[in-house]
Amino acid sequence: MARSLKKGPFVDVKLMKKVKDKKPASAGVIKTWARRSQIAPEMVGFTFGVHNGKIHVDVLVTEEMVGHRLGEFSPTKKFQRHGGKMQKELEMKQQESEIAAAQASKASTSEGQTKAPAK
């Protein structure tokens, strides 16, 4: 559900204090745990370290991000991959083919270097 227009956007007060007096180039990374805070136009250009539950993920704020929440740009879950046994077999075959191609190219370049030019 959207926030009431009467109330306006929610921006963390402490976060705005940190942004208000600084310039984007000299601020460095501003660490924050306020994932629920909306991005205001004053924040454009700043880099925030948004906490994802484990670490602070660096988020550089651009104009397109205004109105979104900081937490949207700091995922809390790490995507591993889809599939199970079949997916793993496909990845192994692809990896083997890449290794074979690399070895073939390495062999062809080493043959070219061992032959001496005829005089």
pLDDT > 80? residue 116: no
The single-letter code of the amino acid at 115 is K
> How do the domains of the chain map onto residue ranges?
13-73
Beta strand pairing status for 56-60 and 29-32? Answer: unpaired
Across all residues in the chain, what is the average pLDDT? 86
pLDDT digits (tens, 9 = 90+) for 59-100: 999 999 999 999 999 989 887 777 778 888 888 899 999 999
Distance from C-alpha of 86 to C-alpha of 6, rounded to nearest angstrom? 53
Q: Give the other-Cβ count within 10 Å of 25's Cβ.
A: 8
pLDDT at 39: 92
Task: Give the phi and the psi of residue 61 in degrees, each rounded to 5.
Answer: -80, 130
pLDDT at 34: 92
Per DSSP, the residues of the chain read: -PPPTTT-----HHHHHHHHT--HHHH-EEEE--TTPBPPGGGTT-EEEEE-SSSEEEEE--GGGTTSBGGGGS-SS----S-SHHHHHHHHHHHHHHHHHHHHHHHHHHHHHHSPPP-
- Which CATH superfamily does the domain covering 13-73 fall into? Ribosomal protein S19/S15 (3.30.860.10)
